[in-house]
Amino acid sequence: MKTIARLLGIVQPYRWWMLLAALLGFATIGSGVGLLTTSAYIIAKAALHPSFHELQLGIAAVRLFGIARGGLRYAERLVTHSTTFRILGRIRIWFYASLQPLAPARLQRYRSGDLLQRITGDIDTLENLYARVVAPPLTAALVSLLLWFLMGTFSPVFSTALLCFHAAAASLPVATGRLNRGTASRIVRLQTELQAETLDYLQGMDELLLFGRVNERRERLASLKNELLRLQRRQLLIRGAHESATGLLMNGAVLTLLWLLAPQVNGGMLDGVFTALIVVAVMASFEAFLPLPDTAGHLEESALAGKRLFEIIDSEPEITVPENPEPFPAQSSVSFRTVGFTYPGTSRPALSEVSFHISEHEKTAVVGPSGSGKSTIANLLLGFWRPAEGAVSVGGREIGTLDPETLRRRTATVTQHTYLFGDTLRNNLLLAKPDATDEELKTALKFAGLETFGERLDDWAGQHGMRLSGGERQRMAVARMVLQDAPCIVLDEATANLDAVTGRTLMESVRRFAARKTLIVITHRLREMETFDRILVMDDGRLRESGTHRELMEKKGLYASMWSLQHRPETASLTGNGI
C-alpha cells in the first residue's frame, strides 16, 4: 500500500478530477437504478388500471432518468478517460525526468528489454490505477449508501439485509486477491523476460542465422509465451468466477428481499406495487459491484508496476547537479589528480592513482591495451561517473562543481559506438546544433567525408542507423562534433570502423579543425604518434608512461614494445625488400 500511496501522491493535482469522475459514475448508476425502478413501478401500477394522472409522475421520471443516464454515462466516460490520460502523461513526464539523472551510470545494470518493459508496459499498467482501482470501490460505496437510504424508507430490515449482501459483494475482491496472489508478479516477470528475449532475438538475428541457433531461441520464446498465456488464463478464470459469485449474491439478495417482503405485503403493511420496484432496485444496485472483480488484480498489478518504477527512480544518481554550480571556466585544460575508480559489480579497479595534466590546446593521445582504462578516462571527464578517489578538473575547477549539461556541451565526443536514431539524417545531425542551417550541415558532412549525404538530408537513417555502414555512422559522429564546435574534443577509437587510408585522412582533418582546441585521442592504433604533443600510456588501470613519441621510443618501455609489435609487418617487409 505504500507504493500505491506514493503513486497517488504523484497524481494528487488531479484529485478533484478523480472525485468528479467517481461522482459521475455514481450518478450514472443512480440514474440506471431510478430508470429501472420507476419503469417497474409504472408497469406494476398500470396493471391495476389507475387513472392516467396517477402515472404522470412515473412517466416523467422515466424520461428524466433515461435521458440523464445516457448523458451522465457520456460525461463519466469523457471525464474518466481524460483524467486517466492526464495521469499517464504526468507519470511519464515524472518518470523520464527522474530517469535522466541516472543515465548512463545507474541504467547499465538493467537489460534494454527490461528497461523498455518498465518504461512502456509498467507505466501503461498504471492507467488502471484510477479507472479500475480507485473509482469502482468509491462508486460502489456511494451506490450502497443510496440503496441503504432507499430501502430504509420502506423498512430498516430491508436496508440491513441489502447492506449485508453489498458487504459480501465488496469483500469478494479480497478472496480473489488471495487466489491470484503472486500471479500478477509472475506475469510481469514473464512479460519482462519475453520483451528482453524478443529484443535480443531481433537484434541478434544475423548471429543466430550464422550459427544455426534460430530454432533454439524460437523455442525459448514459445516456452515463455505459453507460460504467460497459462497464467493469464488462470487470472481470467478467477475473475470470471468472481463475476459469477457477484451474480449469485445478487440473486440471493433478491430472494431474501422477496422472503422479507411477502409477510408485509400479505399483512397489508406494504403496497404490493412496490414489490417490483424494490426487487428491480436491488438487481440494478449490483451493477456498481460488477467492476470489483478486476479491482484486486489491478491493485496488485499497479503496486508491482509502481514498485518496479520506484526501484529505478529511488537509485542514488551517480552524478548530481550542484545547487550553485560554478561558472564554466574559460580555459579547456584537463587535470587528473591521483584518480581511482572501480565500476560497480567489479573488484578490479579501472583506474588507480592516475595523474596527468593536459594544457589548453594541447594534442594528447591516450594509448594502451584493451581494458587498460582508456575509455574510463573519457567517462570520468564527461561526468558520467564520479571518481572514487582523487579529482578530475577542467580549467582548474573540479567537474563536481560544474553543471554536467554545460560540461558535456563544452566537450565534443566521438566514440567507437555511435548511436543514430530512427529518424532522418538531418535530425540526427541537429542533435549537436538544433539551429544549424542546411549549409552548416553540408559543411560538417563534407568535413567528415560524407559529401553525398548533403543531398540526402531527409533520408531515413534506419533503426539504430542500420541503413548506414559502421564507418558512415562513425563519420556522422564526427560531423556532429564539427557542428558542436566545443573547445575540448575527445575521440574514443573514432576511426575504429574506418580503413587505414580513410582514418588517416579523417584524423588529419580533425587535427586541423582542433588547432585551437584541446584534443584528446584515445586509440589502440599507434599511427602518426609523432604528431601529438604528448602520449599517455595506460596499462592495467595505471599511467605507465608519459611523453612524446621520440621520448617514449628512447625509453624502450611498454610504448616502444607496442609500437614495434604493431609496425612489425612493415619492418619485416622493408627488410625483405633489402631496405
The CATH number of residue 297's host domain is 1.20.1560.10
Q: How confident is the model at residue 316 (pLDDT cuts 50, 70, 90)?
A: confident
Is 400 within the bounds of a domain? no
Residue 250 domain-assigned (yes or no): yes
Which phi and psi (to 5°) does residue 366 adopt?
-115, 115
Is residue 203 in some structural domain? no
CB neighbour list of residue 238: distance below 8 Å, 6 or more residues apart: 176, 179, 180
Question: The C-alpha cell of 76 is what?
Answer: 463519466
The predicted structure's pLDDT at residue 544 = 94
Model confidence at 577: pLDDT above 70: no
Model confidence pLDDT, tens digit, residues 198-257: 888 887 888 888 888 889 889 999 999 999 999 889 888 887 887 788 888 888 988 998
The two counts, helices (H) then strands (E), for the chain are 22, 10
- The cell numbers describing 275, all together, are 414489490
Between 141 and 317, the more confident residue is 141
- Are 179 and 163 in contact, with CB atoms under 8 Å apart? no
User: Is the pLDDT score of 575 beyond 80?
Assistant: no
Place 183 in a pLDDT band, splitting at 50, 70 and 90.
confident
pLDDT the model gives residue 578: 40
Q: Is residue 191 part of a domain?
A: no
Q: Give tens-digit pLDDT for 420-436.
A: 888 899 999 999 999 99
Q: Which of 502, 485, 548, 494 is nearest to 522 (CA)?
A: 494
Using CA atoms in the order 417, 421, 423, 428, what is the torsion angle rounded to 10 degrees?
A: -60
Is cis: bond before 156, omega within 30 of 0?
no
| C-beta of residue 501 within 8 angstroms of C-beta of residue 516 | no
- Rounded Cα gap, residues 188 and 306, in angstroms: 12
Give the global pTM. Answer: 0.69
Higher pLDDT, 110 or 576: 110
Q: CA 516, 517, 520, 521 torsion: positive or negative?
A: negative
Is residue 333 one of the residues assigned to a domain? no
- Considering only residues 389 and 569, tell me which one the structure prediction assigns the higher pLDDT: 389
* pLDDT reported for residue 96: 82
Residue 246 CA: distances (Å) to CA of 36, 289, 305, 505: 20, 7, 28, 77
8 lies in a domain? Answer: yes
Name 520's bridge partners.
364, 490
What domain range includes position 31?
A: 2-180+236-313
Residue type for position 480: R
| Residues 449, 506 contacting (CB under 8 angstroms) | yes
Whose cell is 401500477? That residue is: 45
C-alpha triplet 195, 200, 202: angle, nearest 5°? 95
Residue 1 has what pLDDT? Answer: 67
575/579 Cα distance (integer angstroms): 5
Alpha helices in 100-182 (DSSP H): 112-116, 123-125, 127-128, 135-152, 156-179
Band the pLDDT of 129: cuts 50, 70, 90.
confident
Tell whether the model's pLDDT for residue 574 goes beyond 70.
no
Position with higher pLDDT, 292 vs 438? 438
- The per-residue pLDDT for range 82-121, each reduced to its tens digit, is 888 888 888 888 888 877 777 776 777 777 667 777 777 7
Beta partners for residue 251, in sequence order: none
Q: What pLDDT score was predicted for residue 105?
A: 67
Residue of 185, 216, 217, 192 whose CA lies nearest to 202: 217
The pLDDT tens digits of the residues spanning 353-405 come to: 999 999 999 999 999 988 889 989 999 999 888 898 999 999 999 998 999 88
Which cell numbers in the block locate residue 565?
609489435
Residue 318 — φ and ψ, nearest 5°? Answer: -65, -35
Number of structural domains in the chain? 1
DSSP state of 455: G
Q: How many of the other CB atoms lie within 10 Å of CB of 159?
A: 17
Greatest alpha-carbon span in the chain: 129
Q: State percent of the chain over pLDDT 90.
A: 25
* Cβ(418)–Cβ(357) below 8 Å: no
How much is the average pLDDT of 42-67? Answer: 82
The per-residue pLDDT for 576 is 44
User: What count of other Cβ atoms lies within 10 Å of the Cβ of residue 253?
Assistant: 23
| 272 within a domain of the structure (yes/no) | yes
Identity at 218, one-letter amino acid code: R
Is 264 inside a domain boundary?
A: yes
Which of 195, 147, 109, 143 lies closest to 23 in space, CA to CA? 143
Cβ distance 420 to 465 under 8 Å? yes
Nine-digit cell string for 308: 518496479
Residue with cell 599511427: 527
